Amino acid sequence: MKSILSGLQRIGGALMLPIAVLPIAGLLLRLGQPDLLNLPSMAAAGEAIFANLGLLFAIGVAVGLARENHGAAGLASVVGYLVTTKGAEVLMAVPPDAVASVGVAASGAAHDLAVAAYKAHELAKLSVPAGILSGLIAGVLYNRYSGIRLPSYLAFFGGRRFVPIASGFAGLILAAGFGLEWQSLEQGMDALSRTVLNAGAWGMFAYGVLNRILIVTGLHHIINNIAWFLLGDYQGTTGDLKRFFAGDPTAGAFMAGFFPVMMFGLPAACLAMYHTARPERRRAVAGLLVSIALTSILTGVTEPIEFTFMFLAPALYAVHALLTGCAFVIMNWLHVRLGFGFSAGLFDYILNFNKATHPLLLIPVGALYFLLYYSLFRLVIVRFDLKTPGREPPGSEFPAGAPGLQAAGTAASAVALTESPASPAAGYLRALGGPPNITSLSACTTRLRLVVSDPAAVDVEALKRTGARGVVRPSANSVQVVLGPEADRIATEIRELLHGAPAVSVTPQDSLLVAPATRDGFPSAPVPPDGLVGRMAALLGGRANIKSVEVTDSRLRVHVAQATAVDVPALRSLGLRGVAVAEPDRIHLILGPGAAQTGLALRQQLA
């Protein structure tokens, strides 16, 4: 069950990467409309993004799912998607009545054009599911086969080059499924749409509640993608979000309910937290609360607010989820239809005002939600003495992260991490247990998603002192750190620290890699000392136990047949910067800048 949940969380995070392109698509499409700038070329540019969402989902999901977000997975997904869609197009059988309007006496060219138009129309409905499946397959294939070794006469096609080939063959299977069973797939999507849309108020309520509850684990992205990109059909365009921008007057029901909560309700909760803070602490917490409130009002990003009370008062968060469901019911009952390209914030509200239905009704509903949230949060915070920002006991306030501390680990793996005032990335890395503890790192809109070797090495209080809004542990080795909109930037800076941090306090005899003499004034790449690679291979269980070796910028990812044959303590004694057991059969050897040379030597040893 935990492995299934972990897999769904990775998929949910991967789905956020293609969704990140929607703001520019919506912006271009709206600004180009006659009621705004009246620039047809700009509108066409935005429409092009919406028309190719399937391809964007394929690339985004694959890159988001692949280890280190490697672009080779994105290339493989494009191959799989093109094979799937073009193969399905050939296999699709067009019903005779679909092109009957062309006439029996029509020329062959006219008939072929009608058939091609029909196939393009039907495939457009399935493009997003095809893209998501192609991306998932490419990501999984990359993680499984990017380090594969083939016989010497096929060696050119080994490693990462094998992944697009495998993805192409997988695309043939998808092409057969979509091409031969496209009517069944469309009927299934139609049945799902009718079931949800006919559920009326209960359906709206359930969607709103589930969206907020699942945000704890990050799985809300999955149900959002179903609602925004699959439900309903308007002239061949599916999904509440896509239909809204295509001009469907009934679209927007699965977006409108977010606006009262994000623009009015949660900012009111911030005001309640400010007013209930200790008087001497109000000025200190004002900057934080104003910042996260404005983020919610302007952009609709709410996780920084929600994680301030999610674990302090789970019952209060449950009420917040119920109120979100009620907002969907109220907006649907008033026939309010609002849409967004990114989220339910003021920017999207103003931009899409002229496309919305009854948009001014948001003001009275929002005012009601502002009063409701403010009163409820102030009452509960005071009544139950919740330690929201500004109400911590004296002396327990979180200070700024102290710079210059050293990462956790042995002397051989110690990394001096200095923290820039402009970025707390080094502080987060220290609190996460240092470089040896990080097995994988990715980011979605507001949080870091990590897999760590030792969960006990993660210092939650230090993460909060550095600026984290909350920490979630979905499974034993999974950690999610809620930061806000800067999560992706922090993740990038942490990756730079992981790839470029130099080792210190390492004596030559303990160091894994030794830099040879320079040549022509330029230092050569570090090389492993004689005999060390052989000892490393032996401690990994020998040639028979090593299935593949993948090289990254600073580490080797070794896939082994039997984890019990690997002597991890002995590997650590070799002077590596770190040894991480990502999965029972996946061993990460953290080496630093010389990883490529050591990986090559190890592969030659195994050949």
Q: Which of 153, 233, 228 is nearest to 191 (CA)?
A: 233
DSSP of 456-501, one letter per residue? GG--HHHHHHHT-SEEEEEETTEEEEE--TTHHHHHHHHHHHHHHP
* Cα–Cα dist 606/41, whole Å: 57
| Residues that are catalytic | 444
pTM: 0.71
Neighbours of 492 (CB within 10 A): 13
Specify the range with the lowest mean pLDDT, choosing from 53-67, 138-152, 520-534, 558-572: 520-534
When the pLDDT of each residue in the chain is averaged and rounded to a whole number, the result is 82
**Cα–Cα separations (whole angstroms), residue 184 to 53, 73, 118, 189:** 22, 30, 17, 9
pLDDT of residue 128: 92
Among 554, 541, 556, residue whose Cα is nearest residue 603: 556
pLDDT in tens, 217-256: 777 888 888 899 988 889 888 899 999 999 999 999 999 9
Mean pLDDT value of segment 337-366: 94
Confidence of residue 334 (pLDDT cuts 50, 70, 90): very high
Structure tokens at 96: 């005779």
494/475: higher pLDDT: 494
pLDDT confidence tier of residue 400, bands split at 50, 70 and 90: very low
* CA pair distance 530, 527, nearest whole angstrom: 9
Burial 300-319 (b: 16+ CB within 10 A, else e): bbbbbbbbbbbebbeebbeb
pLDDT attached to residue 1? 54
Instruction: Check residue 523 and give its pLDDT.
Output: 40
Q: Are 522 and 528 in contact, with CB atoms under 8 Å apart?
A: no
- Helix 40-51 and helix 53-65: axis angle, to 10°? 50
pLDDT digits (tens, 9 = 90+) for 535-578: 888 888 888 888 888 877 678 888 888 888 888 888 877 777 77
Q: What is the pLDDT of residue 205?
A: 95
Query: Is the predicted pLDDT of residue 401 greater than 60, yes or no?
Result: no
Phi, psi angle pair for 245, to nearest 5°? -75, -20
Q: Which of 281-285, 356-360, 523-527 has the weakest average pLDDT?
A: 523-527
350 versus 416: the higher-pLDDT residue is: 350
pLDDT digits (tens, 9 = 90+) for 254-293: 999 999 999 999 999 999 999 999 998 898 889 889 999 9
Query: Structural domains in the chain?
Result: 2-191 (no CATH), 192-397 (no CATH), 411-500 (3.30.1360.60), 532-606 (3.30.1360.60)
Q: What is the mean pLDDT of residues 368-393?
A: 90
The string of pLDDT tens digits covering residues 70-119 is 889 999 999 999 999 999 999 998 887 777 665 544 556 777 888 888 88
29: which 2 tokens? Answer: 């499409």
- Residue 65 in this model has a pLDDT that exceeds 50: yes
